[in-house]
Amino acid sequence: MRGKTIEPLFTEADIAREIERLAGEIAARKPENILVVGVLKGSFVFTADLIRAMHRVGLAPEVEFISLSSYGSGTVGGDVRIVRDVEGEIAGRKVLIVDDILESGRTLRFARDLMLSRGATGAEIAVLLDKRMRRVAEIEADYVGFDCPDHFVVGYGMDVAHAFRELPFVGRVV
């Protein structure tokens, strides 16, 4: 594909199964008035599938997106910026932040602190993939699809140099 070999790590069926599990775990905590905030761009496919799985277990989330960029050295002090903000009110909402992959944790730490500083009554985090070995910031996800091996992965919304977001599975670039 595009001169690169992609070795599948998590298949469409694997992903579909884990998303149903995540929706069940989210529903088990009986959230009310839930606002899903997807972190662009990588989470758009996961968010789309997760909200439909949430519907199947009886939840009715509202959905917003935020676009964040992170710069800097990979340290906790690295800079995260809002590229495009959410449109609605956060105060008083129970927010579920959704991202494709949790690595250093700087972006998700920023996103969670941002939601809480705006008066969210809760700010839980759901990620498809967790690369725990890469963590820099102090943060954990509340809902994790898969523990991810320490490879650069693409597909299912995730890219390398803007390519491969359209793949329906998650693979490793080899």
Minimum Å gap between C-beta 158 and ligand HPA is 4
- What does each C-alpha distance from 95 to 63, 112, 121, 164 come to in angstroms? 10, 9, 8, 29
Helices in 89-128 by DSSP H: which ranges?
Answer: 106-117
Query: How is residue 23 written in tokens?
Result: 């929706």
Q: Which residues contribute to the site for ligand HPA (CB under 6 A)?
A: 42, 101, 103, 152-154, 158
* Selected binder of Mg ion within 34, 35, 37, 42 (CB under 5 A): 42
> Which residue is closest to Mg ion by CB?
42
Long-range contacts formed by 46-53: CB under 8 A, 24+ apart:
46/19, 46/98, 46/99, 46/100, 46/128, 46/145, 46/156, 46/157, 47/98, 49/15, 49/16, 49/19, 50/19, 50/22, 50/23, 50/98, 50/126, 53/19, 53/20, 53/22, 53/23
CB-based contact 152:133 (threshold 8 Å):
no
Minimum Å gap between C-beta 162 and Mg ion is 13
Minimum Å gap between C-beta 130 and ligand HPA is 11
Subset of residues 44 to 83 that bind Mg ion, contact rule: CB under 5 A: none
> Which residue is closest to ligand HPA by CB?
158
The interface partner of residue 123, options being Mg ion, ligand HPA, none and the CB cut-off 5 to 8 Å by kind, is none
Minimum Å gap between C-beta 85 and ligand HPA is 21
Minimum Å gap between C-beta 101 and Mg ion is 6
**Would you say 49 or 103 has its CB closer to ligand HPA?**
103
The interface partner of residue 51, options being Mg ion, ligand HPA, none and the CB cut-off 5 to 8 Å by kind, is none
